[in-house]
Amino acid sequence: MLLNPLEKIVANLPYGDGFKFVDQLLELDEDSVIGIYRFRESEYFYKHHFKDQPVTPGVILIECMAQIGLACLGSYLMRENDSKPQFVFTENHINFLNTVLPKTTVIVSAKKEYFRFGKLKVVVRMMDENENKIAEGWMSGIILKD
């Protein structure tokens, strides 16, 4: 089965199924990315995080934003490189405005602020499927080369 370029980027992310928070990329170019992820009721963390009223942990929301906004966009920017680049998340400033419950689909958009000397910084936003803003801010990471 041949994958389109966006599917290939998602398939090549260095995360296992239990920790990959990208279902699909909707848009991707040199300056921005938009991707989605549906938080399933079966996610491992819901059993333990507010077990009677599960809520998605903020650190997982940040990870979802980093996987779409940094890892996917960074992979695209490094596509001419023969190796599979690895990304290290270095810093962020995220404001949370709403919670994410099980069965919520989130839409993450990230716009490149800069990419130089192996460091990528993006302005990122997370919305739910009803266009409610969940979180916004910025994050950055560096690319480790083989």
* Catalytic residue selected from 6, 49, 63, 138: 49
- Quick check: is 48 catalytic? no
Buried b (16+ CB within 10 A) or exposed e, 114-125: ebeeeebbbebb
**Among candidates 134, 121, 141, 120, which has minimal Cα distance to 61?**
134
Q: For strands 119-128 and 133-144, give the pairing.
A: antiparallel
Q: Which sequence positions are flagged as catalytic?
A: 49
